[in-house]
Structure 1
Amino acid sequence: MPSRRRLLVGLSGTAVALTGTYATLGATNAERLEWPMVRYDPAGTGSNPDAAGPKDGVEVAWQRDTDSSMYGQTAPILVGETLYAVGQQSLVAFDRETGEIRFVRDGQYWSSPARAAAKAYRRDTLAVNGREGIYGLSAGGGYEVFGRSIGTERWHSHGRESQRWTSSSPREPSPVAANGSVYAVVPDSDRVVALDASSGRIRWEQTVGEPRSIGSNRPAVRDGTVYVSSRPGDVVAFDAETGDRRWSVRPEPHADSALEYRNFSPPTVTDAGLVVPDREGVVLLDRTDGSVRWEYVHDGNAPDGSAAVADGTVFVTDGEESLHAIDLENGTREWTAEYSPDTDPVVADGVVYLGYQISELVAIDAETGDRRWTYEGSTYFTQPIVGDGVMYVLADEGLLALEEAS
């Protein structure tokens, strides 16, 4: 049976053809909403203001498994009519409408890809962190000849053999693409690099804070500045073109904290400042000098999540019992909703969506904190992404497309 959404699309397509406006429909399809990198944009907001997903109930539009295991912790991305997902041993491209697999390319990739415009090629570049460095892959997949990939890998930067167990799940900070450059954290390091999206040429490379091996988070990029936070408690701003250090700060731990330094999560750049979650709360830093504008303490234990920002509100989990909605301007609490895992919220059309490694996928009203629906059709979920009324999420059973329940 076709899903309700595909039936409506078919009926509308017939009506358009009958009225002689097929060209208009084609133009609309060409402008369909995308989710080109993890957390949606270079700023890391986790929010597409034009997107929409299932609001009042959810059902499966399609589900597609693969021959190779897709178990991991990386979110899919959506570019044009193609969804890309990274599993344990491969990059897989799916058709947006049907879920049909377009290609599978083997590789030791360890993050979500980021779509980057590449002047030297007809197709975009997919930048992805791997076991042995940072890769630039063809969004078209290249070719497969006698079981070998040809033309998939365009460039490889900072290659070195990883000491990790080869069966581990993918987990590295995902690259960020902006203005023809790829900004990425070198795997297992405290260094951030800017690479040419076409050639992989190193434009600049810098260390985050003082040299140490604990590692850094996904960068956030906006208005010519790259912001990077680290787990040892540093936040640094670099010039996006030159790599020059604009400022570097190490905010003191919260007043009642027993920690020696803040365990920072990835930052989010906003008009109001730089939102940086940590294990016990959230801090807003001034974008010009890194000074603290406000602090919010939730006294939780959140070492792994990130913040989503939409319509003047910051959404962050505390890792123990709640999702918090915080006013972006003054750092006051708007509401809390019952939700225990520490994860990465995304927001679309007034709804906060949360997925986690186990248990459930949840939709919460962004204005009130009321739970709209819960989906428990799988034992594992990654961070979801949202498009034209449809949510896409990687689960233990493969890639799922979820639409409004009929």
Structure 2
Amino acid sequence: MPSRRRLLAGVGVGAVGIAGGTSVLDVEFAADTVSASTSGETDWPMARYDPSGTGYNPSATGPEDGVEVAWQQDTESNMYGLSAPILVGETLYAVGQQSLVAFERDTGEIRFTRDGQYWSSPARAPARAYRSDTLAVCGREGLYGLSAGGGYEVLGRSIGTERWHSPGQESQRWSSSSPREQSPVTADETVYGIVPNTDRVVALDASSGRVRWERTVGDERSTGSNRPAVRDGVVYVSSYPGDVVAFDAETGDVHWSAKPDPGEETPMTYYEFHPPTATDEGLVVPYRTGVVLLDPADGSVLWEYTHDGNATDGSAAVADGTVFVTDGEESLHAIDLERGEREWTAEYVPDTDPVVADGIVYLGYQFPELVAIDAETGERRWRYEEATYFTQPIVGDGVLYVLTDDGLLALEEAE
């Protein structure tokens, strides 16, 4: 069997007489056979790597002491402003402002481009009704299930790319920046996501898009909910005003709903929760000026770490018993997961979502710098500045992949 499962077939139907004329139909078909990796290669199947949102793949390795470009692939569509790519088997998927693009893992060759108003990183889920996986993604009017094989294209139109569309509504928000929605999370054959422009979390069948359950997070003060985290049959969702809710992943029943009391001396910005990360020790939830660890059994506070920063965005990565989080002002913090005590801080300014692989913390942002920091010491290992924009990176087998203003970039260890 070839090591590459890519199968592209060109189908042409020509010389079709219509009303005395001739019409030529050119069809490019990307066979619907893309599925989960079976080659032993390291995947990164959704934003933050896993349903728990850890941002850590224990099997992955990346550049450690310096980087050079393995390949770079420009795209016709503008890739600026959205989230991380994902990696499934031999294919990388990235979402731009107007399209879904699939790239060959080793070379960056574009396998297909499909038009669509998609606003988040995709998340891969097995789909029993199809020969290929489903890619769940947030779009302008809700959540969509896309064919990982791309369907096919006829006369410039995508056919078979969209398998289903969940309930939603077109956003009425206006912004001078690119649209950005919370990326879905997948576990087994279920998609968990936040319906755009609402505080509703939904569980959808990955094959059909059927709504298994739908619940509202927060109260009348709520201004938005964050990307869910799923672990041990429980879905955890936080909202900006300070609500954290644990739902049964199968039924949607509420296990608990908590609004941690910050006390009289803690400012109201405590309530501006960021996306949670689910771990064995508890639920890690960053907020503007710190981080809390909540008991997964009832939502009570196990410890609180205060950094007195101004973090308006970003989430926590968790690897080997350490929490990594940015404070939005000047530092990346490494915090002991069990005790909530500082291990070290390293200079890093923007709010972002760290990712970790093989003892290295990688950080990228809408800022002309991509950096690697030693997870044990906080020492900066390397810096890459040859672009004006970086998204959140992902890591594979010795290679780091990141979207830039020029397309998709693959970086490997420098000679």
TM-score between the two structures when normalised by the length of structure 2: 0.89
Q: Check whether the contact 2:270–2:287 (CA below 8 A) recurs between aligned residues.
A: no
Cα displacement (A) at 1:160: 2.0
Residue identity in the other structure for 1:156: H
Cα displacement (A) at 1:212: 4.6
Partner in structure 1 of residue 78 of structure 2: 69
Q: Check whether the contact 1:281–1:297 (CA below 8 A) recurs between aligned residues.
A: yes
Q: Check whether the contact 2:222–2:240 (CA below 8 A) recurs between aligned residues.
A: no
Residue 100 in structure 1 maps to residue 118 in structure 2: no
Identity value in percent: 78
Q: CA-to-partner distance for each residue in 1:278-299, whole Å, 9 max, x for gaps?
A: 0100000000000100000000
CA RMSD of aligned residues (A): 1.5
Decide which structure has greater helix share.
1
Separation (CA, whole Å) in 2 of partners of 1:216 and 1:200: 21
Q: CA-to-partner distance for each residue in 1:90-117, whole Å, 9 max, x for gaps?
A: 1110110000111111111010000011
Partner in structure 2 of residue 258 of structure 1: 267
Partner in structure 2 of residue 48 of structure 1: 57
Matches within 5 A, 1:322-333: 322-333=331-342
Partner in structure 2 of residue 4 of structure 1: none
Cα displacement (A) at 1:32: 0.2
Separation (CA, whole Å) in 1 of partners of 2:175 and 2:326: 31
Cα displacement (A) at 1:258: 2.8
Q: CA-to-partner distance for each residue in 1:233-253, whole Å, 9 max, x for gaps?
A: 110000000000000001123
Partner in structure 2 of residue 121 of structure 1: 130
Cα displacement (A) at 1:213: 4.9
Partner in structure 1 of residue 12 of structure 2: none
Separation (CA, whole Å) in 2 of partners of 1:167 and 1:336: 34
1:43 alignment partner, SS class: coil
Q: 2:410 aligns with which of 378, 389, 401?
A: 401
Partner in structure 2 of residue 308 of structure 1: 317
Please list every run of 5 or more consecutive structure 2 residues that lacks an aligned counterpart in the other structure.
Answer: 4-36
Q: 1:367 aligns with which of 358, 361, 376?
A: 376
Separation (CA, whole Å) in 2 of partners of 1:36 and 1:225: 20
Q: CA-to-partner distance for each residue in 1:309-351, whole Å, 9 max, x for gaps?
A: 0000000000000000000000000000000111000000000
Number of residues of Structure 1 aligned to a counterpart in Structure 2: 380
Q: Check whether the contact 2:242–2:271 (CA below 8 A) recurs between aligned residues.
A: yes
Residue 110 in structure 1 maps to residue 119 in structure 2: yes
Separation (CA, whole Å) in 1 of partners of 2:370 and 2:211: 39
Separation (CA, whole Å) in 2 of partners of 1:166 and 1:333: 37
TM-score between the two structures when normalised by the length of structure 1: 0.91
Partner in structure 2 of residue 338 of structure 1: 347
Query: Kindly tell me: are residues 405 and 260 of structure 1, through their superposed partners in 2, closer, same or farther at Cα, counting changes over 3 Å?
Result: closer
Query: Kindly tell me: are residues 151 and 168 of structure 1, through their superposed partners in 2, closer, same or farther at Cα, counting changes over 3 Å?
Result: farther
Partner in structure 2 of residue 16 of structure 1: none
Q: CA-to-partner distance for each residue in 1:100-151, whole Å, 9 max, x for gaps?
A: 1111111110100000110000000000001110000000000000010000
Decide which structure has greater strand share.
2
Partner in structure 2 of residue 273 of structure 1: 282
Cα displacement (A) at 1:163: 1.6
Separation (CA, whole Å) in 1 of partners of 2:118 and 2:149: 17
Q: Check whether the contact 1:87–1:170 (CA below 8 A) recurs between aligned residues.
A: no
Q: Check whether the contact 1:77–1:385 (CA below 8 A) recurs between aligned residues.
A: yes
Matches within 5 A, 1:116-155: 116-155=125-164
Q: 1:30 aligns with which of 25, 39, 49?
A: 39
Separation (CA, whole Å) in 2 of partners of 1:167 and 1:261: 28
2:268 alignment partner, SS class: coil
Cα displacement (A) at 1:68: 1.1
Residue 350 in structure 1 maps to residue 359 in structure 2: yes
Residue 286 in structure 1 maps to residue 295 in structure 2: yes
Separation (CA, whole Å) in 2 of partners of 1:63 and 1:353: 19
Q: Check whether the contact 2:222–2:239 (CA below 8 A) recurs between aligned residues.
A: no
Query: Kindly tell me: are residues 321 and 314 of structure 1, through their superposed partners in 2, closer, same or farther at Cα, counting changes over 3 Å?
Result: same
Separation (CA, whole Å) in 2 of partners of 1:210 and 1:301: 24
Separation (CA, whole Å) in 1 of partners of 2:89 and 2:257: 38
Separation (CA, whole Å) in 1 of partners of 2:366 and 2:214: 33
Cα displacement (A) at 1:31: 1.2
Query: Kindly tell me: are residues 101 and 213 of structure 1, through their superposed partners in 2, closer, same or farther at Cα, counting changes over 3 Å?
Result: same
Cα displacement (A) at 1:303: 1.5
Separation (CA, whole Å) in 2 of partners of 1:155 and 1:191: 18
Please list every run of 5 or more consecutive structure 1 residues that lacks an aligned counterpart in the other structure.
Answer: 1-8, 10-27
Separation (CA, whole Å) in 2 of partners of 1:116 and 1:318: 33
Query: Kindly tell me: are residues 89 and 273 of structure 1, through their superposed partners in 2, closer, same or farther at Cα, counting changes over 3 Å?
Result: same
